[in-house]
Amino acid sequence: MPWRVGPHDRRDGVRPDPYRVWLSEVMLQQTTVAAVRDYFHRFIARWPTVLDLAAAEDADVMGEWAGLGYYARARNLLKCARVVADQHGGTFPDAREGLLQLPGIGPYTASAIASIAFDRPETVVDGNVERVMARLHDVHTPLPRAKPELTALAAALTPQARPGDYAQAVMDLGATICTPRSPACGICPWRDPCLARTNGTAADLPRKEPKKPKPTRHGIAYIARRNDGAFLLERRPDKGLLGGMLGWPGSDWTDTPDPAPPMQADWRALPAQALHTFTHFHLRLTVMVADVGHANPQTGQFLPPATFRPSDLPTVMRKAFDLARAEFDTPPD
Ligand code: SF4
């Protein structure tokens, strides 16, 4: 992983860059390594240091983050970079307590950065570590109720020597050997003490409380195109879902949304809806499109083709645009 410093390099005195560790940990919250990798490379290429990121335009950072989801993370990323730049001279605090004071850094992320970047003996417990601990100790309490127990078991194993290497090793063990479906117990360095392997329960662990079914909400997105090819977009309020991101004007997302067109026009509904799943609900978005001549709306902003990048949109808004593209296939007047 591009943010890692391996044990051999560490032994030779190479220290991890706390900026890279922090950036990767924020990106990895709720997101897989595979999804994060390209975003990480792009951020590092564009903003190589925390001072560069702190000086970035908000819209540029939100645009680069588009598609990665959980957009509050991007807003907090910027806030955190600016606090580190303004209040800490561009240097991250080197212990968990100091890191916890920064925007967007919760207990898990603070422990991970303190451990990985600064080799502090903090207990780092992600989903991989929970699974390894549940199996190693044959814990049958279901998650999330088992979290305190699994954290205590992980804490008891955290060593004083090379805790950064240890934390990454246990996470990697969970990601590559003690995998959810078919753990490779035969090559596992913990196969001898592992109680789940002895008891034949590994495949059933960790247990999980049944998930509640997600409700479905409905919404309406309005995609207006002007004669010059510009599209009407708005920046969403900082607070709330997709906060601070570019998007199409639209209704609230509810059981029965009220129409909320941004202007009078000959709106027509597309036959297909944009479907998207958020953490707590499914969304079915009806997409309305209109050619609006030379209109000047009171809200939002028409972005000309030269500055509108669909990749700056969050995924659900991009799905709506993908549906509308065919409708706008014919060139404007
Ligand atoms: S022995 Fe098997 S179940 Fe136990 S920790 Fe290793 S891979 Fe996981």
Ligand 1 atom nearest to CA at 202: 3
Mutate to test the pocket of ligand 1, among 129, 173, 191 (most ligand atoms within 8 A of CB): 191
Matching residue, tokens 């969050």: 314
CA neighbor of 80 nearest in space, from 68, 64, 69, 92: 92
Q: Which of the following is catalytic: 25, 64, 122, 130?
A: 25
What's the confidence (pLDDT) of residue 290? 95
Q: Which H or E run includes 186?
A: none
In the reported structure, the alpha carbon of residue 279 is separated from the centroid of ligand 1 by a whole-number distance in angstroms of 30
Mutate to test the pocket of ligand 1, among 136, 137, 176, 205 (most ligand atoms within 8 A of CB): 136
In the reported structure, the alpha carbon of residue 189 is separated from the centroid of ligand 1 by a whole-number distance in angstroms of 8
The amino acid sitting at 219 is G
Ligand 1 atom nearest to CA at 189: 6
The amino acid sitting at 91 is T
What's the confidence (pLDDT) of residue 218? 98
CA-closest residue to ligand 1 atom 1:
191
What's the confidence (pLDDT) of residue 333? 47
pLDDT in tens, the chain (333 residues): 888 888 888 888 889 999 999 999 999 988 888 889 999 999 999 999 999 999 999 999 999 999 898 888 999 999 999 999 999 999 999 999 999 999 999 999 999 999 999 999 999 999 999 999 999 999 999 999 999 999 999 999 999 999 999 999 999 999 999 999 999 999 999 999 999 999 999 999 999 999 889 999 999 999 999 999 999 999 998 888 898 899 999 999 999 999 999 999 999 999 999 999 998 999 999 999 999 988 778 788 999 999 999 999 999 999 999 999 988 875 544
What's the confidence (pLDDT) of residue 328? 82
How does strand 301-303 pair with strand 246-247?
Answer: unpaired
Report helix, strand or coil for 209.
coil
Q: Are 82 and 328 in contact (CB under 8 A)?
A: no
User: Known catalytic residue: 57?
Assistant: no
Encoding tokens for residue 314? 């969050």
Q: Kindly list the protein residues whose Cβ atom lies closer than 6 A to any atom of ligand 1.
A: 132, 135-136, 177-178, 183-185, 188, 190-191, 194, 196-197, 202
What's the confidence (pLDDT) of residue 86? 97
